Amino acid sequence: MTLRLYNEQTEQLETFEPLETPVKIYVCGITPYDTTHLGHAFTYLSFDVLIRYLEYLGYPVRYVQNVTDIDDDILRKSQEVGEDWLTLGNRWTRHFIEDMQALNVRPPDVYPRATEVIPQMFPAIQTLIDKGYAYVADGNVYYHVAANPDFGQVSKLPREQWLPIANERGNIPDDPHKRDPLDFVLWQAQKPGEPAWESPWGKGRPGWHIECTVMALTYLGQVIDIHGGGADLSFPHHECETAQACGVTGKPLFAHFWMHTAMVRYEGEKMSKSLGNLVWARDLLREHSADAVRILVNRHPYYETWEYTDKELPAADALADKLLQAARVEGGRGTELSPEEAIVALEEALNDNLNTCQALAALEDLAERILTAARRGQAVHEAQKALHKLGGIFGLRLGKEIEPRVRQGWQTHYQKFL
């Protein structure tokens, strides 16, 4: 059996084969002005399962997730609440880390702030200028979309949709310094009252898209195995990222696989900060175990848009309890229960584009068989070992403490944001 994933760039299921080892994965992180709602959790718990499953299959993984600590949204929120932008971002990043740790999420190996790599952005931007992909205008630097005939390769959106969607997601089409409304900023000249850094083009700050491009290139290299994030990042963010990266490196690809998690809906709308229809992971964790919250989320495969309803919670609680009982039940001395059938079923499900819903069904079946076998006096030790190992792919604790690597890894990252 081999792992097959849907590659949005090629629009087909493909066998996953790493470019080299370790497997290099980049997932776009939070913009920390409020977090962690269930939409965030769906993205990071889905990619957590992918990373854990790759490790289960024997692949070492180098995982980078960023923090967008400076951008328009941060500065806007900072003004609204009257709090320094850095203090605001640090506070919400700590909040997010605490949530990820509580959910037993495997931490990224590198967790950079965007502002950490500003010096590395300068040569990348200059390369794009030198190659004719970018231009300078009054202290600003813009990427000229029309200069790239391959623009659009990630999202596959028709050209007529580019500008309307970009405008919905932060583009400023009437910027007088632009040659074209779709051009996007690489370096933004300082505006009154905004933080700024020295650059070859004057004081200013980086654009959103160049931040992620440079962090991925800096910590993972020129071509990465998997780039992920929420579906709302496919265009323009990931489209712009890959255009910049390929322009800098000269490579035809930035990422071998592009994967996006679907949207979580609530009360008939996409769950989002702008709409304010948010369900907070921390609120759920006050009344439900971390295992139950993870089961709730991962019962929906990453590619499936779903509507959150609290009617799903009792079933998630019940499965978490059943798995815990199966992990703790005392077996007898009879014939050892074999877990092989469940192992095969779970692997088949995850190999099929990470079908977490079917994989959890296989885990539930194993738990039921353990409980039945224990009642009949069978030995269940080997099946329980398998239950813990397979549950670990979902980050389920099954009564154990948070994993040491989770606690230690996130705590190390946490120190940067005090």
- Domain range list for the chain: 19-277, 291-406
CB 27 within 8 A of CB 47: yes
pLDDT > 90: percent of the chain: 95
Burial of residue 348 (CB within 10 Å: 0-12, 13-18, 19+) is: middle
pLDDT of residue 278: 87
C-alpha torsion sign, points 349, 355, 360, 361: negative
What 8-state DSSP symbol labels residue 310? G
CA distances from 412 to 66, 117, 129, 153, 299 (A): 15, 19, 37, 37, 31
> pLDDT tens-digit profile of 198-209?
999 999 999 999
Find residue 37's DSSP bridge partners.
280
CATH 1.20.120.640 describes domain 291-406: yes
> pLDDT tens-digit profile of 383-392?
999 999 999 9
Residues 132-138, mean pLDDT to the nearest whole number: 98
Query: String of b and e for 251-265 (b: at least 16 CB within 10 Å)?
Result: eebbbbbbbbbbbbb
> pLDDT tens-digit profile of 80-130?
999 999 999 999 999 999 999 999 999 999 999 999 999 999 999 999 999
Residues 20-40, mean pLDDT to the nearest whole number: 94
Residues 17-39, mean pLDDT to the nearest whole number: 95
* Distance, CA of 306 to chain centre: 17
pLDDT of residue 34: 85
CA 241/CA 26 separation, integer angstroms: 12
pTM of the model: 0.96
CA distances from 83 to 39, 80, 86, 91 (A): 25, 8, 8, 11
394: enclosing H helix or E strand: none
Q: Is 72 helix (H, G, I), strand (E, B) or coil?
A: helix
Residues 239-251, mean pLDDT to the nearest whole number: 98
Q: How many CB atoms lie within 10 A of CB 63?
A: 25
pLDDT of residue 16: 98
Query: Which amino acid would we find at residue 311?
Result: K
C-alpha torsion sign, points 69, 74, 75, 80: negative
First to last CA, the chain: 45
pLDDT of residue 270: 75
Q: How many CB atoms lie within 10 A of CB 400?
A: 12
Question: Residue 271 pLDDT more than 90?
Answer: no
pLDDT of residue 277: 75
Give the residue from 96, 102, 109, 110 showing the smallest Cα distance to 39.
96
Q: Is 359 helix (H, G, I), strand (E, B) or coil?
A: helix
Question: Residue 149 pLDDT more than 90?
Answer: yes
Find residue 261's DSSP bridge partners.
230
Question: Residue 272 pLDDT more than 80?
Answer: no
> pLDDT tens-digit profile of 286-304?
999 999 999 999 999 999 9
19-277 fold: Rossmann fold (3.40.50)
Residues 15-27, mean pLDDT to the nearest whole number: 97
Give the residue from 352, 359, 258, 344 showing the smallest Cα distance to 15.
352
Burial of residue 41 (CB within 10 Å: 0-12, 13-18, 19+) is: buried
Question: Residue 18 pLDDT more than 80?
Answer: yes
Confidence of residue 35 (pLDDT cuts 50, 70, 90): confident
Of the listed ranges 243-257, 264-278, 309-323, the one predicted with least confidence: 264-278
Confidence of residue 267 (pLDDT cuts 50, 70, 90): confident
Question: Residue 334 pLDDT more than 90?
Answer: no
Please state whether the peptide bond connecting residue 236 to the residue before it is cis, i.e. omega within 30 degrees of 0.
yes
CB 155 within 8 A of CB 238: yes
**Pairwise pLDDT comparison (273 vs 244), residue with the higher score:** 244
Give the residue from 173, 208, 223 showing the smallest Cα distance to 20.
223
Give me the DSSP letters along 234-256: IIIIIHHHHHHHHHHH--S-SEE
